[in-house]
Structure 1
Amino acid sequence: MLCLSSIIFTFLALLAFAKGENCESPQFKITSYSTKDARLTAESAAQVEITVKCKNGKQPSTLYADINGQVVPCAQSAGSPGKYYLGVSAATHKQLAKGRTSVKLYDDDTYSALRKTRTDDAAKAVKPFGEVDFYHPGASFGPWLPSEFIAVIGFGLVWWAAYRERSKILA
């Protein structure tokens, strides 16, 4: 009888431990990098690094990001728990809006609730795990002529003027 009760107690303890805890009071830190020069590429892209710190120390196993209605999984850092990476790309520079872009984050539980919804109104009712903003400064098309080209043209004009004056003096 003692053995059976200890087995049941151990099973219940393992079941409670396996269920785990959810992240309490998440705090987010964002670092983003994005396309700045439009002359070098036809597409805009941004890389967002999201650091999550929970009050109880329990990190979400996976994060999903909702950007403009498209939900994509975030990559998790193998070496740093609580760091997630999100890649955002757009086919043209105008599609990735200049300024702040809001990103809704979902953990496993909230993403499961989001997947179960069938209408847009029901999806709006699902509270995300968190919400962050990242800033994209926009792609610059820069000057029409690069400064190196203007410097070479200026050097050529100075050389031509000096050569011409030298020819007049020696002639």
Structure 2
Amino acid sequence: MKYLILVSFLFFYIVSVQCSTCTKPEVTASAYTTQDATVLTNIAFVAEFSLKCSNGVKGIPLYAEINGKTLPAAKTGEDNKYQVSWIEEVKKSRTGDYSLNLYDEEGYGALRKALRSGEDISSVKPLVTIVVNHPGAYQGPWVNSEFMAAVLSILVWYLAFTAKSKLLS
């Protein structure tokens, strides 16, 4: 009797693990990036997405990988809505597309194993990839207004001084 309970428990555990795998994922995503960096030191990236699986699985734990960094995907209230956010220094951030790879628990385990052993992480297939576009951040004018005011005041002083010198001579 004990073995029957143990076998049935293992069977239901294996079935539940198999059912929690997302098959044929469909993603609808939107993204936000900081576009004004005049007084900031970091650029914020936020990707919000909803995941729909063909087998109806909802609320599975997801993990993201961006530029070799792994991050958890946070659930945002509903079962199939998630959010991933990260920051980069203004000087190190680049304009263009960022590929955000999403992994389920099985894929994340394989990714961590590849990272630990120093293998190429491109060999681990992500569940889905989201592209986040960063158009760049405005970092202020090329010439500061204080510098322009100082140059203009020196120019006005020079013109006034030369005009005074011509009048007195």
TM surpasses 0.5: yes
Asked whether the equivalents of residues 26 and 52 of structure 1 are also in contact (C-alpha less than 8 Å), the reply is yes
Asked whether the equivalents of residues 63 and 108 of structure 2 are also in contact (C-alpha less than 8 Å), the reply is yes
> What CA distance in whole angstroms lies between the structure 1 residues aligned with 2:10 and 2:112?
30
Identity %, equivalent residues: 33
What's the RMSD between the two structures over aligned residues? 2.8
> What CA distance in whole angstroms lies between the structure 1 residues aligned with 2:106 and 2:2?
34
Deviation of 1:124 (Å) = 2.4
2:139 counterpart residue number? 141
Q: Select 1:98's aligned residue among 54, 71, 95.
A: 95
Which consecutive residues of structure 1, in runs of 5 or more, have no partner in the other structure?
147-171
Cα deviations across residues 104-130 of structure 1 (Å, max 9, x unaligned)?
Answer: 111100111122221233x32111111
Deviation of 1:40 (Å) = 3.5
Q: TM-score when scaled to structure 1? A: 0.70
1:113 equivalenced with 2:110 (yes/no):
yes
> What CA distance in whole angstroms lies between the structure 1 residues aligned with 2:62 and 2:6?
34
> What CA distance in whole angstroms lies between the structure 1 residues aligned with 2:43 and 2:2?
63
> What CA distance in whole angstroms lies between the structure 2 residues aligned with 1:51 and 1:34?
18
Deviation of 1:88 (Å) = 1.7
Aligned residues: 141
1:162 counterpart residue number? none
Q: TM-score when scaled to structure 2? A: 0.70
1:167 counterpart residue number? none
Indicate how the Cα distance of structure 1 residues 74 and 9 shifts in structure 2: closer, same or farther if over 3 A, else same.
closer
